[in-house]
Amino acid sequence: MRNSRIGIATTPEQIRRCHPVMRELRPLFQEPEQFLERVLRQHKEGYRLAFLESEGEVRAVAGYRFLESLFSGKFFYVDDLVARESDRSRGFGGELLDWLIEQAREHDCENLELDSGVQRFDAHRFYFSKRMSISSYHFRIKIEQKD
Protein backbone atom coordinates (compact mmCIF):
# COMPACT_ATOMS: atom_id res chain seq x y z
CA MET A 1 0.00 0.00 0.00
CA ARG A 2 1.40 3.34 -1.03
CA ASN A 3 1.70 6.13 1.52
CA SER A 4 -0.20 9.05 0.00
CA ARG A 5 -2.39 11.75 1.43
CA ILE A 6 -4.89 14.17 -0.02
CA GLY A 7 -5.21 17.70 1.28
CA ILE A 8 -6.72 21.01 0.31
CA ALA A 9 -4.25 23.77 -0.54
CA THR A 10 -5.21 26.77 1.57
CA THR A 11 -1.91 28.54 2.19
CA PRO A 12 0.21 30.34 -0.42
CA GLU A 13 2.98 27.77 0.08
CA GLN A 14 0.63 24.82 -0.49
CA ILE A 15 -0.81 26.48 -3.60
CA ARG A 16 2.68 27.17 -4.99
CA ARG A 17 3.60 23.48 -4.46
CA CYS A 18 0.68 22.55 -6.74
CA HIS A 19 1.83 24.87 -9.52
CA PRO A 20 4.31 22.57 -11.37
CA VAL A 21 1.68 19.83 -11.71
CA MET A 22 -1.15 22.20 -12.66
CA ARG A 23 1.08 23.91 -15.22
CA GLU A 24 1.10 20.64 -17.19
CA LEU A 25 -2.65 21.05 -17.73
CA ARG A 26 -2.79 24.86 -17.70
CA PRO A 27 0.42 26.06 -19.39
CA LEU A 28 -0.92 29.62 -19.39
CA PHE A 29 0.33 29.83 -15.80
CA GLN A 30 4.10 29.71 -16.26
CA GLU A 31 4.82 31.76 -13.13
CA PRO A 32 3.90 30.45 -9.66
CA GLU A 33 2.83 33.91 -8.45
CA GLN A 34 0.43 34.33 -11.36
CA PHE A 35 -1.08 30.93 -10.50
CA LEU A 36 -1.28 31.82 -6.79
CA GLU A 37 -3.07 35.08 -7.55
CA ARG A 38 -5.68 33.36 -9.73
CA VAL A 39 -6.32 30.55 -7.23
CA LEU A 40 -6.75 33.02 -4.35
CA ARG A 41 -9.14 35.15 -6.42
CA GLN A 42 -11.19 32.10 -7.44
CA HIS A 43 -11.13 30.87 -3.84
CA LYS A 44 -13.41 33.81 -2.96
CA GLU A 45 -15.95 32.32 -5.37
CA GLY A 46 -15.81 28.81 -3.92
CA TYR A 47 -12.94 27.26 -5.87
CA ARG A 48 -10.88 24.72 -3.93
CA LEU A 49 -7.55 23.15 -4.86
CA ALA A 50 -6.94 19.58 -3.73
CA PHE A 51 -3.63 17.79 -4.05
CA LEU A 52 -2.39 14.25 -3.67
CA GLU A 53 1.04 14.00 -2.11
CA SER A 54 3.21 10.90 -1.98
CA GLU A 55 6.80 10.60 -0.77
CA GLY A 56 6.88 14.35 -0.11
CA GLU A 57 5.93 15.30 -3.68
CA VAL A 58 2.68 16.59 -5.18
CA ARG A 59 1.65 13.94 -7.71
CA ALA A 60 -1.87 15.05 -8.73
CA VAL A 61 -3.97 18.20 -8.39
CA ALA A 62 -7.68 19.00 -8.78
CA GLY A 63 -9.55 22.28 -8.72
CA TYR A 64 -13.24 22.02 -7.89
CA ARG A 65 -16.32 23.82 -6.63
CA PHE A 66 -19.83 23.06 -5.44
CA LEU A 67 -22.53 24.48 -7.70
CA GLU A 68 -26.26 24.24 -8.32
CA SER A 69 -28.27 24.59 -11.50
CA LEU A 70 -31.78 23.87 -12.70
CA PHE A 71 -30.43 21.21 -15.03
CA SER A 72 -28.10 19.34 -12.64
CA GLY A 73 -29.39 20.23 -9.21
CA LYS A 74 -26.60 20.40 -6.62
CA PHE A 75 -23.42 19.20 -8.27
CA PHE A 76 -19.68 18.98 -7.79
CA TYR A 77 -17.80 20.58 -10.68
CA VAL A 78 -14.19 19.65 -11.36
CA ASP A 79 -12.48 22.56 -13.13
CA ASP A 80 -9.06 20.93 -13.30
CA LEU A 81 -7.76 17.41 -12.78
CA VAL A 82 -4.21 16.44 -13.61
CA ALA A 83 -1.59 13.93 -12.54
CA ARG A 84 2.06 14.77 -13.01
CA GLU A 85 3.12 13.44 -16.41
CA SER A 86 5.89 11.29 -14.93
CA ASP A 87 3.33 9.76 -12.54
CA ARG A 88 0.55 8.97 -15.00
CA SER A 89 -0.79 5.41 -15.00
CA ARG A 90 0.46 4.94 -11.43
CA GLY A 91 -2.99 5.37 -9.83
CA PHE A 92 -2.57 8.88 -8.40
CA GLY A 93 -5.19 10.46 -10.67
CA GLY A 94 -7.63 7.65 -9.94
CA GLU A 95 -7.07 7.98 -6.21
CA LEU A 96 -7.70 11.72 -6.38
CA LEU A 97 -10.82 11.29 -8.55
CA ASP A 98 -12.18 8.70 -6.09
CA TRP A 99 -11.62 11.24 -3.29
CA LEU A 100 -13.46 13.91 -5.31
CA ILE A 101 -16.40 11.53 -5.83
CA GLU A 102 -16.51 10.87 -2.10
CA GLN A 103 -16.50 14.63 -1.41
CA ALA A 104 -19.46 15.03 -3.77
CA ARG A 105 -21.27 12.22 -1.96
CA GLU A 106 -20.54 13.69 1.49
CA HIS A 107 -21.93 17.07 0.36
CA ASP A 108 -25.14 15.51 -1.01
CA CYS A 109 -24.38 16.34 -4.64
CA GLU A 110 -26.44 14.68 -7.33
CA ASN A 111 -23.58 14.57 -9.85
CA LEU A 112 -19.89 15.11 -10.35
CA GLU A 113 -19.23 16.91 -13.62
CA LEU A 114 -16.21 18.04 -15.60
CA ASP A 115 -15.29 19.23 -19.07
CA SER A 116 -12.39 17.75 -20.98
CA GLY A 117 -10.75 19.11 -24.12
CA VAL A 118 -11.72 17.19 -27.24
CA GLN A 119 -8.04 16.43 -27.96
CA ARG A 120 -7.36 14.77 -24.58
CA PHE A 121 -7.88 11.15 -25.63
CA ASP A 122 -5.87 9.63 -22.77
CA ALA A 123 -7.94 11.60 -20.26
CA HIS A 124 -11.14 10.41 -21.92
CA ARG A 125 -10.06 6.77 -21.62
CA PHE A 126 -9.34 7.40 -17.94
CA TYR A 127 -12.79 8.96 -17.37
CA PHE A 128 -14.52 6.11 -19.17
CA SER A 129 -12.60 3.63 -17.00
CA LYS A 130 -14.05 5.45 -13.97
CA ARG A 131 -17.58 4.88 -15.37
CA MET A 132 -18.10 8.48 -16.43
CA SER A 133 -20.14 9.24 -19.54
CA ILE A 134 -20.36 12.05 -22.05
CA SER A 135 -23.60 13.85 -21.22
CA SER A 136 -23.46 17.03 -23.32
CA TYR A 137 -21.49 19.25 -25.62
CA HIS A 138 -19.86 22.39 -24.24
CA PHE A 139 -20.06 25.38 -26.58
CA ARG A 140 -18.00 28.55 -26.41
CA ILE A 141 -17.74 31.90 -28.17
CA LYS A 142 -14.81 34.23 -27.68
CA ILE A 143 -16.05 37.68 -26.61
CA GLU A 144 -14.03 40.38 -28.28
CA GLN A 145 -13.81 43.53 -26.18
CA LYS A 146 -14.78 46.83 -27.81
CA ASP A 147 -12.18 49.59 -27.75
* Three-state helix/strand/coil letters over 101-137: HHHHHHCCCCEEEECCCCCCHHHHHHHHHCCCCCCCC
Tell me the CATH class for 4-129.
alpha beta
Give per-residue pLDDT as tens, 15-66: 999 999 999 999 889 899 999 999 999 999 999 999 999 999 999 999 999 9
Cα separation of 146 and 140, whole Å? 19
Considering the chain, what percentage of its residues have pLDDT values greater than 70? 97
Question: How many whole angstroms separate alpha carbon 133 and alpha carbon 135?
Answer: 6
